[in-house]
A = this chain, B = another copy of it.
Amino acid sequence: MRSDSELSGTGELPVPKPAKKNYIRPLDIKHGRIDMSHGAGGKAAAQLIDELFLAAFDNAFLRQGDDGAVLALPGFDPAQGRIVMATDGHVVSPLFFPGGDVGCLSVHGTVNDVAMCGAKPLYLSASFIIEEGFALIDLQRIVQSMAAAAREAGVPIVTGDTKVVEQGKGDGVFISTTGVGVVAPGVHISGRNARAGDVVLLSGSIGDHGVAVLSKRESLAFGTTIESDTASLHTLVAAMLVAAPGAVRVLRDPTRGGLATTLNEVARQSGVGMLLQEEAIPVKPEVDAACELLGLDPLYVANEGKLIAVISPESAEAVLAAMRAHPLGADAARIGEVTVDPHHFVQMATSFGGRRVVDWLTGEQLPRIC
C-alpha cells in the first residue's frame, strides 16, 4: 500500500518512462529538509520518491509505480504464475487504536500490498525497531496481535529482525513488513491498466481507519466508537478474480492520502481521467460527523481494509456481486467510471448536481496514520 510513497513495479518489459509530473518546482536537495508532508502519501511524497529515490535506484521494477514488484525467479515456471514482493513500514501513532494496533496493521498492510498485485500472499518477514524503555507487556500485546493476524490470513511470519534504539530516538515500536506471493497465470493487474469506459468499484465505507486513529490520538469521543477497518483483503481479491477472470484491471488499497489520492495515482499511471458520483461513495454517518468536526474530507482519510477496483464494464456487475457476497465487501459500491482526459483529472459529480476536481492530497492531512 502507501500510495505514491511506494517505490515499486513489475519487471515486465517494455517499461516506459513515466510522464513528467509538473511539480511547481523541483525538490531543493541542497538546502531542503524532510517534513511531515513527505510521508503523507500526497504530492510531496510523490515528488520525493520521483526526484530522490527513483533517480538513484532507477530500474524497470520501480518505474511502474505499483504496490509491489512482479519478479522473475530462475527455477520458477512462468506458466505457473509470477512472484510478487511488497514492503511497508508502520509508524502509526498511537500504537493501539480502536479496532486494531500497529501489530495487526503491519500484517494487513503488507498482505494487502501483495494482494493488490492480484497475488496470493504466502510469506511475511518483519523488522522491529524498538525504543529503549518500551514496556514488554505492550510489545507482547503487539506481537500477539501480529501473530493472530498472520494466522487468520494464513500467511506466516517466516523471518525477522529486532533492533533497539535509545529512548528519544524512536517512538515505541516501528514495524517494517515484507510480503512475498504468487500471481496466477492470466492475472494482469496494474495501476497502468485502467481504460476509458471501465467501472470503478469501492469495497466499502471510507475514512474509518484515519478517524479511529485520530480520535484516539486526540482523545476525542464522538458518542459512538469509530473503529479502524484494518483487515487482510486477499480473500476478497481472490473472490473477485474468480468472479470474472481477466476483467479486474486495477486493484489498489486507498491508504495514506485516501481514496482521492489513490484514484489520482491510478489516473496518472494509466493516462486517463475519472468521474466519481459523490452520492455513491459510502461514508458512515459517524465518520462523516467526525470529519466535519475535525475539518477533514473523508476522501483524503486513510483506509486499511478497503480496496478500489477498476473493472472492464461488461464484468462490473459480476465482480460487484462477488464483493458483496464477501464479509469485507458487503457495502461495496459502484462509485464512478474511467474517462478520457488528457489532464488525468479525477472529477466528482456532487450531490448538489455540480462537478468538481478531486485533486491529490497536498501537505499533511494526517501524519503517522499507518
Contacts and interface: CB of A to CB of B under 8 A. Distances in A.
A218 interface: no
B89 A163 contact: yes
Given A75-B76, A160-B8, A86 B39 contact: no
Contact of A5 (B85, B161, B180): B161
B163 A5 contact: yes
A140 interface: yes
Interface stretch (A119-127, A200-208, A269-277): A119-127
B39 A143 contact: no
A239 interface: no
Contact of A34 (B6, B9, B88, B136): B136
A359 interface: no
A32 interface: yes
A286 interface: no
**Category for how many chain A residues contact B:** 35 or more
Contacts of A77: 75-77
Of the listed residues A56, A73, A134, the one surrounded by the most CB atoms of chain B closer than 10 A to its CB is A56
A94 interface: no
A-side interface mostly: mixed
Interface in A45-91: 45, 48-49, 52-53, 56-59, 61-62, 68-69, 71, 73-77, 80-81, 83, 85-91
Interface in A157-203: 157-166, 168-171, 174, 176, 178, 180, 182
Interface stretch (A144-152, A209-217, A229-237, A322-330): A144-152
A135 to B, nearest CB: 6
Contacts of A136: 27-34, 52
Contacts of A96: none
A75 B71 contact: no
A343 to B, nearest CB: 27
A116 to B, nearest CB: 12
A132 B39 CA distance: 9
A157 B163 CA distance: 22
22 contacts: A2-B163, A8-B160, A34-B132, A38-B164, A39-B165, A52-B139, A52-B143, A56-B146, A57-B150, A57-B157, A59-B158, A71-B158, A71-B180, A85-B123, A85-B159, A86-B125, A87-B125, A87-B126, A87-B127, A129-B176, A163-B368, A178-B178
Given A56-B140, A85-B123, 18 more contacts: A2-B163, A6-B159, A9-B159, A33-B135, A35-B164, A36-B166, A40-B164, A53-B143, A53-B160, A57-B156, A58-B147, A86-B159, A89-B127, A89-B129, A89-B161, A161-B176, A165-B174, A176-B176
